[in-house]
């Protein structure tokens, strides 16, 4: 088994927009996108442009994306958060600013009792991110 966990993010028809957003925020690379229309099985026309599977990578960071099939729904919840551990104050500030654009901070970026700069942000797609820069 690979020693990693890859978050799989589901969207209701806007996975392509989310993929581009996270690509810009993280400075990552899209390593593949397949739509339902490209799949080797029949799909209704309204599913053709929806993302069946996509992946984004940067170094050891990997995120997978998909749209739900028409008729299925996604529920934005708080049972999954994604944690990023930037390596500088500049990097955590950039991530905080980028993720809160059209989203909302849940905890402002601030120094913590555990010696880190930390924030929680819900982005424009409802995904909750924890940002933790551990100062030396």
Domain map of the chain by residue range? 8-67, 81-134
Beta bridge partner(s), residue 57: 29, 62
The arithmetic mean of pLDDT across residues 128-136, rounded, is 92
> How is the beta sheet containing 104-111 ordered, strand by strand?
81-84, 128-134, 116-122, 104-111
Instruction: Give how far Cα 90 sits from Cα of 56, 86, 94, 117, Å.
Output: 23, 9, 6, 11
- Is 136 a residue whose pLDDT tops 90? no
Predicted structure pTM score:
0.81
Q: Can you tell me the distance from the alpha carbon of 17 to that of 14, in angstroms, rounded to the nearest whole number?
A: 5
| 81-134 matches 8-67 in CATH topology | yes
Segment holding 52, helix H or strand E:
strand 51-58
> For the structural domain made of 8-67, what CATH number should be given?
3.30.720.100
- Summarised one tens digit per residue, pLDDT across range 43-94 is 899 999 999 999 999 999 999 999 998 888 888 776 688 999 999 999 999 9
- Summarised one tens digit per residue, pLDDT across range 5-31 is 789 999 999 999 999 999 999 999 999
Architecture of the domain whose range is 81-134: 2-Layer Sandwich (3.30)
């Amino acid at each position: 088994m690979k020693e990693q966990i890859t978050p799989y993010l589901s969207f209701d028809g806007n996975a392509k927009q989310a993929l581009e957003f996270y690509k810009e925020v993280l400075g990552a690379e899209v390593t593949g996108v397949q739509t339902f229309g490209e799949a080797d099985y029949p799909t209704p026309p309204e599913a053709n442009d929806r993302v069946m599977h996509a992946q984004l990578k940067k170094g050891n960071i990997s995120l997978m994306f998909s749209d739900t099939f028409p008729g299925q729904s996604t529920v934005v919840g708080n049972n999954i958060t994604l944690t990023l551990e930037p390596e500088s104050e500049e990097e955590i500030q950039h991530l905080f600013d980028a993720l809160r654009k059209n989203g909302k901070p849940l905890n402002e970026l601030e120094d913590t009792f555990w010696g880190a700069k930390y924030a929680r942000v819900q982005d424009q797609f409802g995904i909750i991110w924890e940002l933790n820069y551990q100062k030396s």
